[in-house]
Amino acid sequence: MIKKGVFIAAVSLFSFSSCGDGGGQQPFNPPKGYKSRSGKLIYSKHCTSCHGDNGKLGSGGAKDLTVSRMDSTEIVDILRNGKNGMPRQIQYFKSDEEVENMIDHLKSMRK
């Protein structure tokens, strides 16, 4: 589980760091009653083609997620901006809770 202070800092980085950068990124605004999806569900839909079910696939140069030591802020930055050949992924998230769920799932894959 993510420490609340670290998560709040990571989400704040995502939600507000784009102000004035021309990226047009807006904070999440899910509809009332929206039930957040699990990180595992989002991962299986958007990440397995490159990283594989277990995070080790490495298709097209994708990193082995089981050996990652990135903290929550670094993960949010990559989701928001992409890195190397990986395109940004943040458009697939509907709420801050979904981002937290993904961070938890990615960290659970580590060796």
The answer to whether residue 9 is domain-embedded is yes
Q: Let me know if 15 is exposed, middle or buried by CB neighbors in 10 A (0-12, 13-18, 19+).
A: middle
CATH number assigned to the domain comprising residue 83: 1.10.760.10
- Total tally of structural domains belonging to the chain: 1
Helix ranges (H only) for the chain are 4-16, 39-46, 48-51, 72-81, 96-108
Q: Which two tokens stand for residue 77?
A: 């930055």
Residue 65 lies in domain: 4-14+37-108
- State what percent of residues in the chain have pLDDT above 90: 67
> Does residue 95 lie within any of the structural domains?
yes
Residue 32 lies in a domain: no
The whole model's pTM is what? Answer: 0.76
pLDDT in tens, 52-65: 999 999 899 999 99
pLDDT recorded at residue 18: 40
Residue 69 covered by a domain: yes
**CA distance readout (Å), 45 to 7, 18, 37, 59, 68:** 23, 26, 11, 16, 20
Does residue 24 fall inside a structural domain?
no
The answer to whether residue 25 sits within a structural domain is no
Residue 60, in any domain of the structure? yes
At 91-102, the pLDDT tens digits run: 999 999 999 999
Establish if 96 belongs to a structural domain: yes
pLDDT of residue 16: 38
